[in-house]
Structure 1
């Protein structure tokens, strides 16, 4: 079930999610000379961005994948409005994390520490600024660390959100835990088992609830969070996890699924705001029918958006990192910078509307300045 995107025998910078509809064959990218280190796009909001990491241990439950671990450990990366712009920029990932991620994605021909040289915009351990800020929980796709959503996280923090990105150990090719321990992907050995996706999203919902429980006591800046304004955004199985977390935890007021097949059973009368945003495989009647099913069950504010030319990784940092891996994008692919811009713009518009009560005409229908965006199901034919 888990597949690697077929762009020059493994573009995607990362493996495609085990829990998404398969990507159809298409012309492969063209190998090119790797470029220099990538600098992620600058955040678009007015605030400087800080970041820090927390390590949490849930002793009330064993790890669902590692049978030798009697407690579930999580790494949580926080991005937030900061007091200052100056300071050491946070690393994108460690050299070891880069090595294991590239190995897992079967990407060769570049130095193993290549991705660790990616330049971020957030100041490491900068003091937090602001008061009573909304909280956004961020969850990555299967096999991927949350660092692959850094561009989105930095942008949201610059716009006045605290972002809590969760690394789910043993579901990713690499998660660094306290003491330098490295958790590799044990779950990858089970991804073809019946009920795998349902089990993953159930575990992610539990991870989210635990983080919401513990954040007030574990982060010195948690007093700046308005706990009445919480949303969740995820990519691939992380997007499916957003739906599952909302079903299980009423503290999550709104959610976004970025290109993820869904698994959670939506209860009758589920009315909290939700948005699907994805690639053309998610048009009505397309290869992935889970959105068709769930759209009918959502009774509150909802949107279903498809980006022309997007693929499964367009909602991550993956396309931005293609050049450093020496791969040209496939013919017809949505430009990497444009994909990042559209993802940031529509995710922020949703959150601004539902966590800040700001009117967002962008979410009401097609925009001439965003011609790639189609609103489903009415104005979104099958591709």
Structure 2
């Protein structure tokens, strides 16, 4: 995982440069003795407080495809959900501490130089929110990224009454922390076989959905018997399942929908398409979020072919001023730590675009929720056509 590595588009799979996490876009500059750079996500916009719980999963039916000496495929997932008030519980860290330390150390940043802060969810809080079971949304991050990098979008969905399951694809993810502090990174330094990664990720998603179904039926999904938050099994509505992904996670969303009919609606944040789904298309709702830069719909033949074969509800949103890292927490983190990475203003603009940070965040909060509101809850009008509240967003059907 070279610190200057840009994982460029491969066979139409990703729509723009996929960097190994939001902190690894450039060589790390010499660190000066200064106050720590602190990152804290803004509070979500919904009416409900948040809870979260993480599970260690093990698929014993397959050895790990990236590290064959591992006899089973291990994953870490988190579930984010609306909570009800109760005893004060610890806040969930934005990234688990051992994983964060390993990642920042890899980048050459000394301990304490960057403080990543906490999310707004509380560990294991009882489930609350609106009456009845909650629609479920899966989240898959970009290549060489982490499930942490979509926390802003995920928390906001949960604060409006969704149960969101975030997935780390081990050895594809930049860093994964397992119970006990074991941390796994990609032994090759980063993935390059995107076709293989897509197959592995699709199998991961099927397995995660299977384990979520076990939880819904009253069983425990994980290897370690992590205490289940009160009300969690009954909160899962597996008749309403959506999926959301950034970059390779967007391609994973499309590929997973082709092979798993349990996913009823999918959204791709500046992701591509590859494999059989390009020609097969989908007959269920799909949202493509695009940028006007390289790798997008304009010059990605595979993505255009996939778009032409969508037979259900479809919409492409092009966000003026956006770049590949606009659609996640990178849009807020990168401007804070760019000086530490020796990143020039031009390089920073190439990653997060020229769109103001508050507008990037407004898009992240409004449009994924509008899509899932429409297709999992049958409500909302934002996607009917261009909105004066979002002049930077163009619609294509």
Given the alignment of the two structures, is residue 250 of structure 1 paired with residue 251 of structure 2, yes or no? no
What residue number does 2:225 align with? none
Secondary structure (helix, strand or coil) at the match of 2:391 reads coil
Given the alignment of the two structures, is residue 365 of structure 1 paired with residue 365 of structure 2, yes or no? no
User: Where does 1:333-352 land on structure 2 (aligned, <5 Å)?
Assistant: 333-352=354-373
User: How far apart are the structure 2 equivalents of 1:181 and 1:17?
Assistant: 32
Q: Is the 8 A contact 1:95 1:116 kept in 2?
A: no
TM-score, structure 2 length as denominator? 0.81
Given the alignment of the two structures, is residue 271 of structure 1 paired with residue 286 of structure 2, yes or no? no
Describe the superposition over 1:135-177 as per-residue Cα deviations: whole angstroms up to 9, x where unpaired.
0000101111101111111000001000000011101221012
What residue number does 1:97 align with? 99
Given the alignment of the two structures, is residue 231 of structure 1 paired with residue 242 of structure 2, yes or no? yes
Q: Is the 8 A contact 1:17 1:141 kept in 2?
A: no
Secondary structure (helix, strand or coil) at the match of 1:322 reads helix
Root mean square deviation of aligned Cα: 2.9
Secondary structure (helix, strand or coil) at the match of 2:56 reads strand
Q: Is the 8 A contact 1:34 1:324 kept in 2?
A: no
What residue number does 2:46 align with? 45
**Unaligned segments of structure 1, at least 5 residues:** 7-14, 378-383
**Unaligned segments of structure 2, at least 5 residues:** 19-25, 222-227, 340-344
Task: Pick from 288, 297, 302 the counterpart of residue 290 of structure 1.
Answer: 302
- Say if 1:144 and 1:370 are closer, same or farther in 2 by CA, change over 3 A: same
What is the aligned length? Answer: 356
What residue number does 2:21 align with? none
Bigger drift between 328-337 and 41-50 goes to 328-337
Q: Is the 8 A contact 1:172 1:185 kept in 2?
A: yes
Secondary structure (helix, strand or coil) at the match of 1:280 reads coil
User: How far apart are the structure 2 equivalents of 1:44 and 1:238?
Assistant: 24
Q: Is the 8 A contact 1:99 1:112 kept in 2?
A: yes
Quote how far apart the aligned CAs of 1:20 are.
2.3
User: How far apart are the structure 2 equivalents of 1:229 and 1:115?
Assistant: 39
User: How far apart are the structure 2 equivalents of 1:36 and 1:102?
Assistant: 12
